[in-house]
Structure 1
């Protein structure tokens, strides 16, 4: 598929087109494209051969306050912005990333006028309702100021808008549907090279005689912004989702104060003029990595150069690329030793081009002459196509994609702790508390004290490093939703929103809908075993021993279910369950049975989030009355604050059970089945559904 030229809209051939002034004056607005290689929108901007080129980043308060963003993702973003700024400066000593702080809808119209802009160029973001509204407003403001807009696609393999049209403007709910839609366009476009040079960000008066040093240029740009209102002077945000009070990772007290908007171009750097238009710091966001117990330094550093280095290292292993099968990679390895490419954060922020990844993988696979080559959906290309599938699905659904209420593709299931709305349909923030047992379960989940070591270790790994393997994500999602806890996938998506570096507005809700069997995937009777599933990949429990060190001395036999160990084994391991490590917060098998019973009723009803019964608020009561499963309860003697839980009877392994297990040679007891193969089914469910799922 040959790359399309970025679309043009706005002022067209206006007075500001630059003809009289001797050339175009281009503002390039960086967003989730923090790279110089393979950027069609950037290339289109440079093809104008502009007399001035302003590489801009708007430090948008919407993401600081109204999006859940944790330290790891903010840190990756800041590192990537700094790396991009350095790359720009390397191409032109008079250039850098020009970071201005405030609402883009307030800043862009002013910058158009003050810098004499003729063209605004940016890479389209097809997903997230806020982004679409923001960009529509930017186009309107550009047109009002006689500025031509060049917006190209580059964040995905294909133009998501065109793929959606090819699918009759319907969301793609299977990989097969996505593949059918993109077949009309052929192969993804080949990547293009990074530019060798860029023009300087010159004011009109400086074009004839440019400053010789950036130290002389930046004060002029700064002076041009005099009188521009600062965001800090506006009324504060309605709420701050990243505040400590709402469960975010900002610090408490004075150190948690957000100071990045105290000036328009940067209050948080040194007094040197070189710090003007600088990249913010974590401290200016009221965040402290050490205090939040995240990895210092980051195990996944940001930036284009780092991303390309990782890509190059992965591509060199042609056998790994050609035979890659994501379901067979291990979820039990630490982030520093990930069994997958770990390039998703670099794709999320556009540090690495997805088309370069695609074509490098294609070439590497061709070079491999051995056996065992894989194909979609398991291989690298299949994983990248899943990303496209979710993006087209989100674009097809729109604003309600990230929630259950009014979502036309999400099944309505009577989860506990759903998102709550007022009488006008507006989400209530903070969310009103739900039933005590579910709130306790959710708190235990996010605080990694469920009493199930693999779940707790995966949560700690995520919070510490900002990344976990996709099968660990599967395990967490299954446990929280349809496997045991019966808590809305919206809560899980929020948790990942905050902690994943590679969070994506289409893939994250999409994955949670998939794994909760709300959309995309339907085999709800397949549930991940909390011990048996991870045990297959790593019988020794290395991930648990690292992230739950209180369990490090347990023998392999009991590392995934320490509550089953005899008391003498616990004491020898210097960790008594219910005292030094929590007892399980629920009965795995009993809750699994309850969840499957509920799912059968919900599937029989067939309601989606936009069903009349859902919108009228009647659906929950109808479903609960029909399936008759009792509300969740906490184990007897559960004390969340003290974290000293009495081990309930169902969780106590009896000596006779141990003897019976020995006699069977360690085989499963009668009635136990391998129902945790969800990941295998999920990779084939895009082709066919089982008869049971269809029914």
Structure 2
């Protein structure tokens, strides 16, 4: 009897899973997930994401078991574990959905070589993106450096057909199931479990979020920038872990004509763009995409960095976002851009510090997306925000949270401040501060830096570095 292994990674779903569907064409199938020390405990480990991962795997395992094939768990190097499993069950092929980061591609090469030595073939499928990155190139075959032409090519790129969900599976006998690491082993505490639960980990609830996003897509362009409304899709963790299919979501949006659906579909194009950038520039994980800014002199200021991390900068718009991140493991995208700009421009602190903090806490922490967006905000990446366009957090708050719902939720010290002074409480007369029960410098921090002066210094510093 023919036997195939399906190797799950960032595709923790049964619906539209090309690797799973291909493996299911064999007479017997062995699903497996390999726990590696690097993602669980290494540079980019996160208790929040570990909690989301374990919850999603439990649901995936239940679904596979109901279909007839239990999910196997192995811990260690996939280049060792997968050949061993293939030998145990007599598998001829191992199916996997391709990933595009440097670590993932290196791992796939090592696994393919180890399997080949054992006479087993590693078969890759395109289950992570909407369109295959290798197919989206300029006319002369080079990768795009700028989003707008990439987006045009992306809209025209060929899409694969959705993969059918297997209904009945047969597994080989006698293969130990194994077990995932305990929550304590991967630093998952009660708070991390709560965040994963609130983020609706697992395929079933992720699909509910997707259906909700599709139903409300018509309003997306109008309300997506209003953090007080909290009307974004909240699908980013599901897309990172693959508990929903990016292609399935994109197909639904492509069938709609509203500006909101087009705007949301464009966000999926940005996702594929950053995957494409990291795929073609693996060095981005350690250095700036724009060579002019490599070796830039960033400010060494541990106290300001820690104040930024804890939401104690004295700027309500910034502090709201940073406190939301610590509490929820998530932050509204409009505010993400502002806090990144503030760290790298107003404080002139290395973007890598911000990238690492986000990766530690974000449920949707994704190397390609996080790295691309941090380099964009710091004006050192692909198709970046120009260095002279610096987010003004006061104006951002006045524009996108005019009633103060978002700021008052996350910075409750300021909840009694009148709207007219909420965005810049340090400018409020002392009697207004005392009437609001919050005196700047006593009950809420004074700003770390002057926004105007720090903006001018950043522009000068970046201009000198750019040459």
The TM tier, using the shorter chain, reads: over 0.9
Cα pair distance change 1:280/1:526, threshold 3 Å: same
Residues of 2 paired with 1:315 and 1:90: CA distance? 28
1:410, 1:311 → 2: CA distance? 41
- For 1:329, the equivalent position in structure 2 comes to 224
CA distance in 2, matches of 1:144, 1:318: 49
1:35 paired residue number: 13
Gaps of 5+ in 2: none
Alignment of 1:167-206 (within 5 A): 170-179=142-151, 181-182=153-154, 185-186=157-158, 188-203=159-174
Distance 1:286 1:76, change over 3 A: closer
- Counterpart selection for 2:354 from 492, 507, 528: 492
Question: Structure 1 residue 167: deviation in Å?
Answer: 6.3
Given that 2:324 and 2:331 are in contact with CA atoms closer than 8 Å, whether structure 1 keeps it comes out as yes
Question: How much has 1:545 moved relative to structure 2?
Answer: 1.8
Decide whether the 8 Å contact of 2:67 with 2:168 is kept in 1. Answer: yes
2:218 equivalent among 313, 319, 342: 319
Kindly name which structure, 1 or 2, has the bigger radius of gyration based on alpha carbons.
Answer: 1
Q: Partner of 1:385 in structure 2?
A: 269
- For 1:475 and 1:526, how far apart are their aligned partners in 2? 11
User: What aligned pairs does 1:568-607 form with structure 2 within 5 A after superposition?
Assistant: 568-603=431-466, 605=467
C-alpha distance in 2, partners of 1:99/1:329? Answer: 39
Task: Say whether the 8 Å CA contact 2:40–2:46 is kept in structure 1.
Answer: no
CA distance in structure 1 between the partners assigned to 2:154 and 2:215 by the alignment: 29
State the distance in 2 between where 1:177 and 1:281 align: 46
Who is 1:473 aligned against?
336
> 1:110 matched to which residue of 2?
84
- Conserved in 2, the CA contact under 8 Å of 1:171 and 1:397? no
- Residue of structure 2 equivalent to 1:260: none
Aligned to 1:299: 198
Residue 146 (structure 1) shift:
0.9
CA gap 1:154/1:410 in 2 versus in 1, 3 angstroms: farther
CA distance in 1, matches of 2:247, 2:195: 31
Alignment of structure 1 residues 338-353 onto 2, 5 Å: 338-353=230-245
Which secondary structure does the structure 2 equivalent of 1:325 belong to? helix
Seen in structure 2, the aligned counterparts of structure 1 residues 180 and 557 have a Cα distance that, compared at 3 Å, is closer
Other-structure match for 2:60: 84
Cα drift, residue 511 of structure 1: 0.8
1:521 is aligned to 2:392: no
CA contact (8 A) 1:449 1:456 kept: yes
Q: Cα distance, 1:297 vs. partner?
A: 6.9
| Residue 464 (1) aligns with residue 323 (2) | no
1:88, CA displacement in angstroms? Answer: 0.8
SS across alignment from 2:265: helix
Q: Give 1:408 deviation, angstroms.
A: 5.5
Give secondary structure in 1 for the equivalent of 2:198.
Answer: coil
State the SS of the aligned residue for 1:55: strand
Q: Residue 156 of structure 1: CA displacement?
A: 0.4
Contact 2:196 2:363 survives alignment (8 Å) = no
| SS of structure 1 residue aligned to 2:201 | coil
What is the CA-CA distance between 1:536 and the residue it aligns to?
A: 1.3
Match in the other structure for 1:508: 370
Unaligned 5+ segments in structure 1 are 1-22, 204-220, 223-275, 418-434, 606-695
Q: Could you tell me how far 1:459 is from its partner in structure 2?
A: 0.6
State the 1:510 CA deviation.
0.9
TM-score, structure 1 normalization: 0.63
Contact residue 5 and residue 31 of structure 2 kept, 8 A: yes
1:523-580 per-residue CA deviation (whole Å, 9 max, x = no partner) reads: 3222211212122122232222222222222222222222222223222322222222
| Higher helix residue share | 2
Give me the whole-angstrom Cα distance separating, in 2, the residues matched to 1:347 and 1:412: 31
Bigger drift between 97-106 and 469-478 goes to 97-106
1:70-219 equivalences under 5 Å are 70-92=46-68, 95-126=69-100, 128-163=101-136, 170-179=142-151, 181-182=153-154, 185-186=157-158, 188-203=159-174
Cα distance in 2, alignment partners of residues 133 and 62 from structure 1 = 13
The CA deviation at 1:282 is 2.7
User: Contact 1:570–1:577 (CA<8 Å) still a contact in 2?
Assistant: yes
Deviation at 1:308, TM superposition (A): 0.9
Deviation sequence 1:334-360 (CA, Å, 0-9, x none): xxx522212121111111111110111
Among 40, 46, 49, the alignment partner of 2:24 is 46
Matched residues in 1 for 2:357 and 2:90: separation?
43
Q: 1:332 touches 1:534 (CA, 8 Å); kept in 2?
A: no
Question: Which has the larger displacement, 98-107 or 340-349?
Answer: 98-107
CA distance in 2, matches of 1:552, 1:107: 55
